[in-house]
Amino acid sequence: MNSLFSLSELGNREVEHGKGRDVGKSRVVKFEKIHSAKIENIKNLCGQLPAPGEIVFLWTCNSFNAFTFIPYVIKYSGMIEELCISTYSINTRIVESLTKWYDKGNVRSILLYVSESLRFRMPAVVDLLEAKARDREISIVYAWNHSKVQLIKSNGNYFVVEGSGNFSENAANEQYIFLNNEYVYKFRKGCFDTSR
């Protein structure tokens, strides 16, 4: 079994001695290549994006994770006007990838509704999140949160993804509900308490 990355790549961004290469960027590129293949796994299961009023029930055994829905929607629907994510956990490669999609103009605005416990469980991720949010239309709300919901407004569609997967790379047996419904979208968005 080949590993996807070396443990030495898990540190903060560093320039490899004598090579002038940014290890952090190479991790993100490798991560995005992996997700390109995973997008096809969703396509094979769904056939297409849910049409308005449609709902798809998915069960996956490590073939994709919660993040994969974002590049999937970008690929098959176009630019994301509004992306709202509620999650217990998120990792640095996903933060880097989200901001890369934002910087490329594929995502117009991002709201991250993350667990308050992230501040003490993963302070390096919090530092990165807050640094990335400073000059972008990215809002972060910390709350006592364990929900896993994505709201993706794109090209007149209101996609909702709910399931067991966090925004991390440890997907195992995960279940997702993937639907396209404006009413459910607005209802779920109302559950994000952004008054904090």
Long-range contacts of range 11-20, CB-CB < 8 Å, 24 or more positions apart? 12/124
Q: Is the pLDDT of residue 92 over 50?
A: yes
Has residue 21 got a pLDDT over 60? Answer: no
In this structure, the number of other CB atoms found within 10 A of the CB of residue 108 comes to 14
Q: Of 24, 7, 19, 3, which is closest to residue 128 (Cα–Cα)?
A: 24
196: confidence class by pLDDT, cuts 50, 70, 90: low
Render 110-121 in DSSP notation, one character per residue: EEEEEETTHHHH
Query: pLDDT grade, residue 65 (50/70/90)?
Result: confident
For residue 111, report the phi and psi dihedrals to the nearest 5 degrees.
Answer: -120, 120
Q: What is the pLDDT of residue 17?
A: 38
The residue behind tokens 């779920």 is 188
How do the residues of the chain divide into helix, strand and coil, expressed in percent and rounded to 5?
40, 25, 35
Predicted TM-score (pTM) of the model is 0.79
Higher pLDDT, 165 or 150: 150
Among candidate residues 124, 154, 139, 156, the one with its CA nearest the CA of residue 192 = 139
Answer whether residue 62 shows pLDDT above 50: yes
Of 169, 82, 81, the closest CA to residue 125 belongs to 169
Based on the number of CB atoms within 10 Å of its own CB, is 82 exposed (0-12), middle (13-18) or buried (19 or more)? middle
Domains and CATH numbers, the chain: 15-191 (3.30.870.10)
In which band, very low, low, confident or very high, does the pLDDT at 30 lie, cut at 50, 70 and 90?
low
Out of 22-31, 84-93, 105-114, 149-158, which region has the weakest mean confidence (pLDDT)?
22-31
Q: Tell me the backbone φ, ψ of residue 129, rounded to 5 degrees.
A: -55, -50
Average pLDDT estimate for 168-193: 88
Q: Catalogue the E-assigned strands of the chain.
A: 55-61, 82-87, 110-115, 138-143, 149-154, 157-163, 173-180
> Residue 88 gets which letter from DSSP?
S
Pairwise CA distance, residues 101 & 27, whole Å: 15
**Residue 101: pLDDT band with limits 50, 70, 90:** very high
Q: Are 61 and 184 in contact (CB under 8 A)?
A: no
What pLDDT score was predicted for residue 104? 95
pLDDT of residue 173: 82
The end-to-end CA distance of the chain, in Å, is 45
- Rounded percentage of the chain residues whose pLDDT exceeds 70: 73
Instruction: Give pLDDT tens digits for 107-128.
Output: 999 999 999 999 999 999 999 9
